Structure 1
């Protein structure tokens, strides 16, 4: 197996154009598993670990541009306030060693339905920056996943960065597994409440051929929050509302039976964690009100 190791972004893009069959690798947390179990045997590896342009982040115009190879550990340590949902998900990924190597760009490149970074990216309305020698284009993350472990990248493209809007309200993430980390999720869910736009974003993981949003749940909840005056009052949400939201989320899933869980269990679990994450997120607004001495209407 040939090992290609560019040291600049321009060189990496040139090699990608010349050798589209080469498998990109940065942290290697997904790729090396495939190689070790002989599930993949590419003719070459395109090692991106020495490309400085792929790490770090910048903030501008209300969003964070996150380098594709920025490790999860630094997301947890540095972006918990502007990107709370993504930071929560990053905390649950693998072991400390994996969080020091793995990245959002790698998670997207693998395009696994169970990728933990995917639900908060969907809920937050992220876009993927894809680059090639031909130029750069942006892909809404909900259009990025095209099938099981397939994505919308062209053969000569690499992921340069992910642009994630800064949170304008509470966000939450939860996943179901045999333990909180170092496990592939049976199912996962993220919710993002945008107080300025008065909209709700969602992301479902490990319960369909691709990560997906729960559009009907988003529309239902935003409508109920408006009709009930909750956006203004921020009073506690009734159990009937959160349960209906959970039911909408469960209905949006298209799960399968496998060794980690049945389809029926996944739908039930999604409904439960959707209800819980919404309750946790909305409770943050109540804490803010009490902290500033405000009174609910």
Structure 2
């Protein structure tokens, strides 16, 4: 097995073009597990830890954030909690401190596992993924990035270089259910973002379908309820019937299976509960203008 260690993005893209079969590795929290269990035996590994362009973040002209694919979860928590509240919440649920020190959103996207913790948040805020190769750069909306179980639109000669996230104009939330409190793959997860600027709602479902999913009908329903009641301008507590219906629509959007971590029926039930709870927390934050509470 070849081990490639570029020290610049240009060198990394050149190496990927020369050896498209080379598997990128940064934190290694997914790739090394597959190697250790002999589930994967690539001809080459492309170590990206010495590529400085991937390990930075910066504000964008429109007030958003360009997050380098190699920025670890720990830095998202400590440096970006105010700018990217939903992503910081999801980052806090990832593995152990050691894994959060190594793991990255770029790696989560590269693996494209339906259970990846950051996917629901990225969907809820309508993020985009920056892909580069020696042929050029393209930006793909995250809702179009996933194509199947651990599959994406990423071409064989491309690298994920950054994630583009809009400014958080309102409260964001993330919550997940696991078989224990830490160091666990999600049985299911849910991300929610309120967008008062344009009066819309964003959602993301994890670990309950072949890809991460959006609950589109739930978004439409809640957007309509908030608009019809003039609740963006005059926020009042949401009725139990609205929260319950929102949870039902989120559960209906899922396409779960039975596996060792949980049944399809349990996943749907859990998602309806997570959706009701995250909506309650996010709306309370919107009404009071207070600090966002963590799930």
Q: TM-score range by the shorter chain?
A: over 0.9
Deviation, structure 1 residue 287: 2.1
Deviations 1:13-37 (A, max 9, x none): 0010010011110110110010011
Partner of residue 287, structure 1: 288
- Partner of 1:6: helix, strand, or coil? coil
For 2:119 and 2:88, how far apart are their aligned partners in 1? 12
For 1:2 and 1:180, how far apart are their aligned partners in 2? 38
Partner of residue 6, structure 2: 6
Partner of residue 32, structure 2: 32
Partner of residue 253, structure 1: 254
Partner of residue 116, structure 2: 115
For 2:143 and 2:40, how far apart are their aligned partners in 1? 26
Alignment of 1:169-180 (within 5 A): 169-180=170-181
For 1:180 and 1:8, how far apart are their aligned partners in 2? 39
Structure 1 window deviating more from structure 2 (251-260 vs 171-180): it is 171-180
Deviation, structure 1 residue 2: 1.1
Deviations 1:108-137 (A, max 9, x none): 000000000100000011000000001100
Structure 1 residue 98 corresponds to structure 2 residue 90: no
Structure 1 residue 264 corresponds to structure 2 residue 265: yes
Partner of residue 293, structure 1: none
Alignment of 1:54-203 (within 5 A): 54-60=54-60, 61-203=62-204
Deviation, structure 1 residue 232: 1.4
Deviation, structure 1 residue 233: 1.3
Deviation, structure 1 residue 8: 0.8
- The answer for unaligned runs of 5 or more in structure 2 is 291-295
Partner of residue 47, structure 1: 47
Partner of residue 221, structure 1: 222
What TM-score results when the alignment is normalised by the length of structure 1? 0.96
What TM-score results when the alignment is normalised by the length of structure 2? 0.97
Partner of residue 295, structure 1: none
For 1:33 and 1:169, how far apart are their aligned partners in 2? 37
Structure 1 residue runs of 4 or more that deviate by more than 3 Å after TM superposition = none
Deviations 1:241-276 (A, max 9, x none): 000000000000000000000000000100000010
Deviations 1:75-105 (A, max 9, x none): 0011111111000000000000000000000
RMSD: 1.1
- Partner of 2:214: helix, strand, or coil? coil
Deviation, structure 1 residue 231: 1.2
- The answer for unaligned runs of 5 or more in structure 1 is 290-297
For 2:236 and 2:43, how far apart are their aligned partners in 1? 58
- Partner of 1:230: helix, strand, or coil? coil
- Partner of 2:232: helix, strand, or coil? helix
CA contact (8 A) 2:179 2:261 kept: no
Deviation, structure 1 residue 234: 1.1
- Partner of 1:231: helix, strand, or coil? coil
For 1:145 and 1:89, how far apart are their aligned partners in 2? 19
Partner of residue 293, structure 2: none
